[in-house]
Amino acid sequence: MASLVSGIFNPISNDEHSRMTKRANAYLKGKRIDPEGITGKESVADLVDNAFLAYNGGRLREGCQLFVQQMLDPDVTVGVSLTGAMTPAGLGMSSLIPLMKAGFVDWIVSTGANLYHDCHFGLGLALHQGSPFVDDVELRENDVVRIYDILFDYDVLLSTDDFTRQVSARPEFQRAMSTAEYHYLLGGYVREREKALGLSRRSMLSVAHELSVPIYTSSPGDSSLGMNVAEVALDGNKLSFDVTADVNETAAIVLAAKRSGGRHAAIMIGGGSPKNFLLQTEPQIQEVLGIDEKGHDYFFQMTDARPDTGGLSGATPAEAVSWGKVDPDRLPDSVVAYVDSTVALPILTAYALNRHEPRPVKRLYQKRDEMMTLLLNEYRAAKKDRDERAVAATSSMTRGGG
């Protein structure tokens, strides 16, 4: 038996084993997989660190650790994009509001639908857990609306529509404005309604108003908020969305983060248009405005979209490098977790709040003019330099042709 064991475990010489070990060590630097058994007493953060060791669990752990250990440094500005029906599922209240109040989210790009449904809660309207396996014809006959397994009365939509129209018709709205301005003003009215109803921490828009967190929508007409603004326009309302202001303001946020000596982090909850709107800030700075920049410093996406279909939702951080969206030198600080956002986001929130102290709120909404001045000055300097080089090149060609 002893000779058999010896033969099994010593099939090569010590010298050869040493050479093989040195070669393998380049790949075997990761922590050994040797977890303790789960007891049921662990915090979410401990569970992530100790049991999410491989596959998409491993990627979620890496994303959580990247967020806490690097993205939440004091000099990092954190932008978040939000897609999918997150707020109807309560994730605005359970996850995003706590992150905002802790100073972990500095600005947001969201679908208009998430912000519209967010208003329901601030207005004291009820959405209910339900089943996805119901008869939708019967729901329609009973004035019940379904978002997969979320059910609510049709009057929830009508009440929110009425509130949106009344607010949008007020004097301070009678002009063109960025979507951040619109959401800030709307959030103030939602906040007043919350107070009147004795509610708190129900609406993302309300909390964003309180904390001066700017919220943008990449497609302002593509939601019930935009639909109601379009309705009041038929009655002569002067409110309109200045989408060019959105493009330049978001680019200014990223540039200001970099020029202050800091860094910028992009967290994408899902994909879609908000993901691109968040990431396109760097191509806007570099490619369009001609300002010297390298890309976002950190990239963390929670998605169920595949990269091989060619859609933006599934595009990887490596692909984003080719567009100038991600700094190639920071590509190792990029994580994609292929996990349902409704699973990943609460875990990320619990992990961050457990592992990191709150940060001071940056209140970027109040700094938009200052950041836009920086962007404009750098754009003008870059444009002047380009124009001078173009004139010099034309002059050189003319002399050569003479």
Catalytic residues: 325
Calculate helix-pair angle for 243-259, 179-197, nearest 10 degrees.
90
- Please give the Cα distance from 264 to 262 (Å, whole number): 7
Token pair of 25 as six digits: 């060590």
Q: H/E element holding 310?
A: none
- 302 membership: H or E segment, kind and range: strand 298-302
CB atoms within 10 A of CB 27: 7
Beta carbons within 8 Å of 198's beta carbon, 6+ residues apart: none
φ and ψ at residue 377, rounded to 5 degrees:
-65, -45
Q: Which own/partner contact pairs does 362-367 have at CB distance under 8 Å and 24+ positions apart? A: 362/77, 362/103, 362/106, 363/211, 363/212, 363/213, 364/77, 364/106, 364/107, 364/212, 364/213, 364/214, 364/253, 365/180, 365/184, 365/208, 365/212, 365/213, 365/214, 366/212, 367/256
Alpha-helical (H) ranges within 111-242 are: 112-122, 136-141, 154-168, 179-197, 204-211, 224-233
Q: 101 Cβ partners below 8 Å, 6+ apart? A: 201, 207, 211, 358
